[in-house]
Amino acid sequence: MKVTYLWESTAGVISPHCMSETVNMDGIHLLSCLLMDDGGIPYLQSIPWIREGIKKVDSVLSGETVSSSWDRESWGTLMTIDGVKIYSLHDEGYFEDVTLQQFKNALVLWVSFIESKPKHGERKDVKL
């Protein structure tokens, strides 16, 4: 799976965005929706939440826990050793499955990207 992290400017405010090559039947990038679900706070303040997600993935990968959930305002996940289900908290018909390692890679790379210096138009394509 390939994702693109990019900086975009809206109304003069630069912010991180994510696009995934995987979309649902409505053309929605669910992994992207989850990563960009900032809970209404500035994106840099989302870093502790993302790091918490990474810890939960590591807990499942190590066998410390059998499953873990992690969610925000509109999107959530259910993680097991068999994979991660990304889903809408408002519509149970919206979900996407990814591997646990793909999900961890997406989170780690997303934190790294949003911690970098914002540069309008900059894109980073990554293979998870």
Count of other CB atoms within 10 angstroms of residue 58 = 14
Q: Which residues fall within 8 angstroms of residue 60, CB to CB, at 6 or more apart?
A: 66, 67, 68, 79, 80, 81, 100
Tokens found for residue 82: 């068999």
Between the two ends of the chain, the Cα-to-Cα distance in Å is: 5
Give the model confidence (pLDDT) of 32-80 as tens digits: 999 999 888 999 999 999 999 999 999 999 999 999 999 999 999 999 9
Contact call for residues 27 and 18 (beta carbons, < 8 A): no
* Count of domains observed in the chain: 1
Contact call for residues 94 and 107 (beta carbons, < 8 A): no
Q: What pTM does this model have?
A: 0.93
**Boundaries of domain holding 79:** 2-127
